[in-house]
Amino acid sequence: MPFAENLRSELDYQGLIVKQLAAKSGVNIHTLNHYLSGKKVMPPADVAVKIASALGVSVEYLVTGADLHVPMDKSVYREYRRVIDNLEVLSEDVRTPILAMIETAANRALEKKEQSFG
């Protein structure tokens, strides 16, 4: 039941209840409850898109638990997501040097990695 687990996980992460998701997505609350309970394993593509869009995640994430650009480990994905959520609330003058610091640290780590192979 990956879809049900991922949907429940995302609802919990966002602090939403099924009724709120139903209102945001336009998907009937009973239908959502069926997906969450595992009675219906997988929604049709159009319904999956509505649910994913309302949650601000990809359909792939709801289906597999992974996004194209993040590791498969859900705990790492959630950690990255928390960082992104926190960065989004910062003003640009605060966010810009933080992003520059992250980029500098990543470049240094890549250089060290390349040196150890070279």
How do residues 20-30 score in pLDDT, each as one tens digit? Answer: 999 999 999 99
How do residues 71-99 score in pLDDT, each as one tens digit? Answer: 456 667 778 888 888 998 999 999 999 99
CA-nearest of 47, 52, 70 to 62 is 52
Least trusted range by pLDDT, from 23-32, 44-53, 104-113: 104-113
How close are the terminal C-alpha atoms of the chain, in Å?
45
Q: Show me where the domains of the chain are located.
A: 2-64, 74-117
Cβ atoms of residues 54 and 62 within 8 Å:
no
DSSP state of 69: T
The torsion angle over the Cα atoms of residues 18, 8, 61 and 40, rounded to 10 degrees, is -80
Q: Which two tokens stand for residue 69?
A: 């650009």
Which CATH homologous superfamily contains domain 2-64?
Answer: lambda repressor-like DNA-binding domains (1.10.260.40)
pTM for this prediction? 0.59
Structure confidence at residue 87 (pLDDT): 92
Which regions of the chain does DSSP assign to beta strands (E)? none
